[in-house]
Amino acid sequence: MALLQRCADVIGGEVVLLDAWRSSGAMSAAGKADCRSSIEHISIGDTSAKVIVDNIIDKAKALSDTDVTSVPSDAALDFVKNLEQNLKTRSEWDGPDLEQLWLESALAQAKDNAEHAADSASGILRDCTG
């Protein structure tokens, strides 16, 4: 279930990106607070994307070979590739230099991307276990 790990990697990448922006000396105090809030949204709590995907991966690891009845669909693979590309695109932005509205948009995109990765992981597990 390597595709599940790729979903987790997207979520981890979002956290790393936002933490790098937050840690930048050029980021405003408000921007730092917004980054921290987004990181917490993505990675802390039972309903966070990180915890959801970690739980899905743990469940997948506990499955026997006979429990896995199919491979992930091409659509699932394409969707995860899109999530990875979204992260890569934002990774090329200079977060601390973004105007406030652009920063808010980038933070919302990071949260959405992480949530979509969690939803995708859930669908992949469901589809592969029949």
62-112 pLDDT per residue, tens: 999 899 999 999 999 999 999 999 999 999 999 999 999 999 999 999 999
What is the reported pTM? 0.95
C-alpha 130/C-alpha 125 separation (Å) is 9
C-alpha 35/C-alpha 18 separation (Å) is 6
pLDDT computed for residue 130 by the predictor: 76
C-alpha 5/C-alpha 54 separation (Å) is 9
- Please report, for the chain, how many H helices and E strands are present, in that order: 5, 0
pLDDT digits (tens, 9 = 90+) for 29-71: 999 999 999 999 999 999 999 999 999 999 999 999 899 999 9
Residue ranges per domain, the chain? 2-128
